[in-house]
Structure 1
Amino acid sequence: MMHLGIDLGTSGVKAVLTGADGALLAQATAPLVVSTPQPLWSEQDPKAWWHATVAALRQLGTSHDLSAVRAIGLAGQMHGAVLLDAGEQVLRPAILWNDGRSGMECRELEAAEPNSRALTGNLAMPGFTAPKLLWVRRHEPDLFARTARVLLPKDWLRLQMTGEAISDMSDASGTLWLDVGRRRWSPEMLAATDLSESHMPRLVEGTAVGGCLRPEAAGALGLRAGIAVAGGGGDNAAGAVGIGCVEPGDAFVSLGTSGVIFVSDPGFLPDPARTVHAFCHCLPDSWHRMSVILSAGASLAWLAGMTGTAEAALLAEAEREHPRDRPVFLPYLTGERTPHNNPAACGVFFGLSSGTTRAAMTLAVLEGVAFALADGLDALEARGGRISELTAIGGGSRSALWLGIVAAAMGRTLTTTDGSEVGPALGAARLARVCGGDASAAETFFKPATTARFDPSPALIEMLMPRRALYRKLYPALRPLFPVPEIAP
């Protein structure tokens, strides 16, 4: 007996298999490419998601008999807009979560529905789905008129698998069309974008059945037809259940393509003024808050590409040489969310000299991401109280150097756990396990064993304090020089 978790990320599709006891058996990844045809734009072809999913499952199928899979869980990048016509054909490339083109539309949306922040628990930001549709209405009116359905990325995958348009509460929270406190579509927010509930998928909880695998898809994926596909979750909510972050006060920091601090809450606790996201969790009657930076692991990947050096080699070099004379880095390569909410913010190295080395730039990138996350932690704690310990997940959690820097910048202890680097795909598999009726939530959403602990180093805290102070001065000083006005809260 096995369960399958599929995470549709920005840079790739990851698929994992778990066994009868919920333990990780195998994983596979197939890469994806992001298209940036114009400044602030970020798009992908949904067909590439399906091809990558098929490729990832074929990798798994070389070592395991996938006919033993009893249920599938889906997780994925949030906020994307997949526009479908009445025949369920894709009308244009999907507009992704880190696309920043719809700043004007954010202001229009909040003007059209003055109660939007109370309904959704969030500011209107260009990353969310609803402003993207207003942009399409303005710039591609013929396509907008032909749009019969709008799906989130993972739910487009579900449509290919099941033939049904279904989403879960956590992913739907990132659209600005959900009444997050009531866990239902908001007629007011839909009307503000000239849409109705008929354009939306049916909503289920993350552990509920969200369709069954149809024969055509089963054949392509090497699975049995008819198995359940769980409601699943947005990538961060799924990542949370993968590490047992389900009780109020449980928290994690994710070092993936983006950077996230996530805390489970006792109820719906919106705080839009601080650009904090308040969303439904992927478990019934549960909510969470997040602070988000758009370029965490993406910043290190960018440096690796620019220098022609593998990320692992950059990290090893930085740890070995550890130059003290290094610049300060603003990780705003695709704009920023928490706390600045500015899609036009730019990445910056400040303090370069003729003596600046590649290792110095790597350390500056690691620190800049850590400082941005620390600002996000401050925003979360302003309403929700102190978060004393966080689990680290995502690809960046493999780097002890980076986790030590993040722990010191935040002044908080970080831990890693079994499977923490697997991230949302593991949580998706656990949602499938419950959906398939093979275990209870209590048996499934447990906290894995701790594998490492990173307490904040007093010496490193002392060294980073003046660098973080300089980091925090740079954004307000440079803000007037960024190419377009920021979106005012």
Structure 2
Amino acid sequence: MSTYVLGVDLGTTSVKAALVESCSRAVAASHVLSTTSDVPDDGGIKAKEQDTGRIIDTLNRCMGLLPRGKLRQVRSIGLSGQMHGVLLWKAEGGCDWSNGDSFTAADTSQLITWLDGRCSSHFLSSLPEPDSHVSVATGFGCATILWYMKHRPEFLKEFAVAGTIQDYVVSMLCGLDGCVMTPQNAASWGFFNTSSNQWNMDILKDAGFPLHLLPQCVPSGGIAGQTCSDWHGIPAGTPVAAALGDFQCSVYSCMSARTDAVLNISTSAQLTFAMPAGFKPPDSPQPSSSISYFPYFDDSYLAVAASLNGGNVVATFVEMLTAWMAELGVELRDPCLYDKLIRCALNQEMSDLRVSPTILGERHNPLCLGQVTNISTTNLSLGHVTRALCRGVLDNITSMMPTERLQQAGVSRIVGSGSAIARNEVLRQEVERAFPQPVVYGQDADSAVGVAKVLSDLL
């Protein structure tokens, strides 16, 4: 009888659960549901929070759609999710298992996501420099907790444990009193040294950080515990791995050789390749560098150009045109307009218009905004503008990680993935023009499948 590994990804906008057959690594079943969990920011502090209860409810509904017979044959569970963010809960009573074979969130904070903007540049400049190669940015777990210590210390007194949303689910499934965290998620919180796999305890203590909220660090791919109860048919006692980062799992799902580079363009955009064995990151943060180094597996690292500007800038362009037409009294649905724009751009094979699409800035250059240049009377059509915008997305990511850097690293092909690439033929054309290496598609980056494959390979 076949056995399965369950992979769950708790993303920024959706939850996905996938059953992967243990031996073949084939996906036997999967479901994805939107969480619609965003909480409005009433305080005017650029907060980005999500309703924890809605996320867990979405997880339960997603699990309920998987075949019960296959769930009974699950041999291990892996979770990944949105990195950087922070959730707080009480050591006891962080969930309620009284509703049959599923738990509901109880006595937790809202999830403060990686998009949270309350840590201003002024506040971040007041923090000590970490003993780490990772710079600290707004939305990072440690920075957010330090913000609360300064502005709302009474809020933190309600809770005893902190972690990412995926760490929380691991703790609840296993009935843990505390939180365990892998280096993949710990690095995304800041103030964590990936070479020693240790938190910057002395630095954080001097900064007034509540040290009891720091999770215990365990290896990426290690087991955190076992399910403390039956869960949607999965038997009690099933091993649960410590949660991994969604980015690392998405790369794992589609990087079939170490000479691959993975280009993912969905809401944002990332270009990454594996560093050689033995590579060690810099000793201190490099805030102006466009390339970051993410801990991967077996003490290895990924070189990553992580752009804040991807498919979201094309979506913003569509929203802008929709708003303009509404002001003119013309109504047109966004999906219809998007498809029309792509057709216009396909008819415009080249454009001398130049669009720099960095409307959200970049982490290494937050003050960099978008620009349109080389405007003339002959390149103002929607085909020209859409084509130039798509090319600008690629120009931006290759400026962050030049193609020469990929060639020096021995990258032999580009694996293209992500919803924006899948939907937008113009973007695919510009991808193929941007890189001298061949580009392959069809293997979509999928964090839920990736975390299941990790466990299939390691356990």
Give TM class, smaller chain.
0.7 to 0.9
Q: Name the counterpart of 2:263.
A: 253
Q: Distance in 2 between matches of 1:178 and 1:105?
A: 19
Cα offset, 1:246, TM superposition: 7.2
Q: Distance in 2 between matches of 1:367 and 1:61?
A: 43
Cα offset, 1:361, TM superposition: 4.8
The TM-score normalised by the length of structure 1 is: 0.75
Q: Distance in 1 between matches of 2:149 and 2:378?
A: 49
Cα offset, 1:195, TM superposition: 2.8
The TM-score normalised by the length of structure 2 is: 0.80
Query: How is 1:258-337 mapped onto 2 (pairs within 5 angstroms)?
Result: 258-265=268-275, 266=277, 267-270=279-282, 272=286, 273-281=288-296, 283-305=297-319, 307=322, 308-310=333-335, 313=339, 316-322=342-348, 328-337=354-363
Asked whether 1:228 is paired with 2:231, we answer no
1:317 partner amino acid: R
| Greater Cα offset, 294-303 or 206-215 | 294-303
Cα offset, 1:122, TM superposition: 1.8
Q: Distance in 1 between matches of 2:52 and 2:70?
A: 27
1:45 to 51, 60, 63: 51
Cα offset, 1:151, TM superposition: 0.6
Q: Name the counterpart of 2:89.
A: 84
2:148 partner amino acid: V
Write out per-residue CA displacement over residues 303-336 of structure 1, whole angstroms, 9 at most, x where no aligned residue.
Answer: 4555332287257424543375686544445442
Q: Distance in 1 between matches of 2:59 and 2:182?
A: 20
1:180 to 194, 202, 213: 194
2:244 partner amino acid: G
Q: Secondary structure at the match of 1:253?
A: strand
Q: Distance in 2 between matches of 1:246 and 1:210?
A: 29
Asked whether 1:60 is paired with 2:66, we answer yes
Cα offset, 1:47, TM superposition: 2.0
* Aligned-CA RMSD value: 3.3
1:392 partner amino acid: G
2:449 to 426, 434, 442: 426
| Greater Cα offset, 23-32 or 78-87 | 78-87
Cα offset, 1:359, TM superposition: 4.9
Q: Name the counterpart of 1:96.
A: 113
**Contact 2:255/2:262 (8 A) holds in 1:** no
**Contact 1:73/1:430 (8 A) holds in 2:** no
Write out per-residue CA displacement over residues 253-284 of structure 1, whole angstroms, 9 at most, x where no aligned residue.
Answer: 22132211222222222372414322321x22
Q: Name the counterpart of 1:465.
A: none
When residues 315 and 6 of structure 1 are mapped into structure 2, their CA distance, relative to the original with a 3 A threshold, is: farther
In structure 1, list runs of 5 or more residues that go unmatched: 438-489
**Contact 1:167/1:201 (8 A) holds in 2:** yes
Asked whether 1:133 is paired with 2:145, we answer yes
2:78 partner amino acid: G
**Contact 1:61/1:222 (8 A) holds in 2:** no
Cα offset, 1:175, TM superposition: 0.9
1:288 partner amino acid: L
Q: Name the counterpart of 1:30.
A: 33
**Contact 1:14/1:27 (8 A) holds in 2:** yes
Q: Distance in 1 between matches of 2:91 and 2:56?
A: 20
In structure 2, list runs of 5 or more residues that go unmatched: 95-105, 323-332
When residues 268 and 141 of structure 1 are mapped into structure 2, their CA distance, relative to the original with a 3 A threshold, is: same
**Contact 2:265/2:418 (8 A) holds in 1:** yes
Q: Distance in 1 between matches of 2:207 and 2:344?
A: 48
Number of aligned residues: 419
1:105 partner amino acid: F
Cα offset, 1:105, TM superposition: 2.8
1:99 partner amino acid: D
Asked whether 1:11 is paired with 2:13, we answer yes
**Contact 1:274/1:379 (8 A) holds in 2:** no
Write out per-residue CA displacement over residues 217-251 of structure 1, whole angstroms, 9 at most, x where no aligned residue.
Answer: x44x342222112224211111222224674x543
Cα offset, 1:358, TM superposition: 5.2
1:84 partner amino acid: W
When residues 368 and 172 of structure 1 are mapped into structure 2, their CA distance, relative to the original with a 3 A threshold, is: same
Q: Name the counterpart of 1:401.
A: 426
Write out per-residue CA displacement over residues 131-163 of structure 1, whole angstroms, 9 at most, x where no aligned residue.
Answer: 222222222221134442221121122223223
**Contact 2:350/2:387 (8 A) holds in 1:** no
Q: Secondary structure at the match of 2:154?
A: helix
Q: Distance in 1 between matches of 2:404 and 2:63?
A: 38
Q: Name the counterpart of 2:219.
A: 205
1:409 partner amino acid: A
Q: Name the counterpart of 2:325.
A: none
Q: Secondary structure at the match of 2:25?
A: coil
**Contact 1:232/1:431 (8 A) holds in 2:** no
Write out per-residue CA displacement over residues 408-459 of structure 1, whole angstroms, 9 at most, x where no aligned residue.
Answer: 2355433235xx2142111111123245x3xxxxxxxxxxxxxxxxxxxxxx
Cα offset, 1:78, TM superposition: 0.8
2:171 partner amino acid: L
Write out per-residue CA displacement over residues 203-230 of structure 1, whole angstroms, 9 at most, x where no aligned residue.
Answer: 2223211222231xx44x3422221122
Q: Distance in 2 between matches of 1:395 and 1:416?
A: 12
**Contact 2:379/2:385 (8 A) holds in 1:** no
Q: Distance in 1 between matches of 2:437 and 2:308?
A: 22
| Greater Cα offset, 234-243 or 223-232 | 223-232
Q: Secondary structure at the match of 1:310?
A: helix
Q: Secondary structure at the match of 2:75?
A: strand
When residues 325 and 401 of structure 1 are mapped into structure 2, their CA distance, relative to the original with a 3 A threshold, is: closer
Q: Distance in 2 between matches of 1:319 and 1:25?
A: 38
Q: Secondary structure at the match of 2:441?
A: strand
Write out per-residue CA displacement over residues 15-51 of structure 1, whole angstroms, 9 at most, x where no aligned residue.
Answer: 2221131012232111133446247432212222212
When residues 382 and 17 of structure 1 are mapped into structure 2, their CA distance, relative to the original with a 3 A threshold, is: closer
Query: How is 1:144-183 mapped onto 2 (pairs within 5 angstroms)?
Result: 144-164=156-176, 165-183=179-197
Write out per-residue CA displacement over residues 368-422 of structure 1, whole angstroms, 9 at most, x where no aligned residue.
Answer: 32122112213993997564533223223424432331232355433235xx214
2:72 partner amino acid: S
Q: Distance in 2 between matches of 1:321 and 1:35?
A: 41
Q: Distance in 2 between matches of 1:387 and 1:286?
A: 17
Query: How is 1:383-402 mapped onto 2 (pairs within 5 angstroms)?
Result: 385=409, 387-398=411-422, 399-402=424-427
Q: Distance in 2 between matches of 1:246 and 1:143?
A: 47
Q: Secondary structure at the match of 1:10?
A: coil
Cα offset, 1:349, TM superposition: 5.9
Q: Distance in 1 between matches of 2:376 and 2:12?
A: 31
